[in-house]
Amino acid sequence: MSPEIERKFRASVLPADILKNCTSSTPIQQGYLCVSKNAEVRIRKKGDQNFLTTKKGKGLSRLETEISITDEQFQALWPATEGSRIEKVRYHLPIAAHLMAEIDIFSGVNMGLILVEIEFPNEAVANEFIAPDWFGIDVTTDVAYKNASLAK
């Protein structure tokens, strides 16, 4: 497991043409197999790639393990996630100091929700980061904005 140091923001409106500055976009289907107070296990179809991921902890820094799985494995596990899924398109936007913002625009039951996530090399950089106004409010520690919560 490696630490994932990430901050998350809820944007209400994106600046005009911001998506044109993104380097890529990828549709994501994500389902949760198990969610507890301090850990989660999910499967994700990201474009044409599939992953099984565990995350442990909460807040700014969590332990994450991600492994690739086959289409057959994804399809076998997908029915077990019924009632605990999200759909979104993720856009990658390079920002200052060699950081990448991931803009998630949700569809389905979370239609209209826009979250912006940034992973950092360490907690000091994460804590010093000053987000642009359009990122909106910082929801890093708000469990309601965890993808596992949104899937319910």
State yes or no: is 91 an active-site residue.
no
Range scoring the smallest mean pLDDT among 50-54, 97-101, 105-109, 146-150: 97-101
pLDDT at 59 (0 to 100): 81
* Higher local confidence (pLDDT), 105 or 4: 105
Q: What pTM did the predictor assign?
A: 0.91
Residue type, 17: D
Transcribe 41-82 into DSSP letters: EEEEEETTEEEEEEEE--SSEEEEEEEE--HHHHHHHGGGGT
Give percent above pLDDT 90 in the chain: 89
2-11/24-35 β-pairing? unpaired
Determine the Cα–Cα distance for residues 69 and 5; give it in Å rounded to an integer: 24
Half-sphere exposure of 72 (CA within 13 A, CB side): 0
φ/ψ (deg, to 5) at 48: -105, 15
Question: pLDDT tens digits for 39-91?
Answer: 999 999 999 999 999 999 888 888 999 999 999 999 999 999 999 999 999 99
**Domain 2-150: which CATH number of 3.40.50.1370, 1.10.10.10, 3.90.850.10, 2.40.320.10:** 2.40.320.10
* Higher local confidence (pLDDT), 89 or 4: 89
* Residue 22 pLDDT level (bands cut at 50, 70, 90): very high
Determine the Cα–Cα distance for residues 88 and 90; give it in Å rounded to an integer: 6
* Residue 37 pLDDT level (bands cut at 50, 70, 90): confident
Tell me which of 4, 7, 11, 32 is the catalytic residue. Answer: 32
What is the average pLDDT value for the chain, to the nearest integer? 94
Residues in the chain: 152
3-state helix, strand, coil in the chain (%, to 5): 20, 50, 30
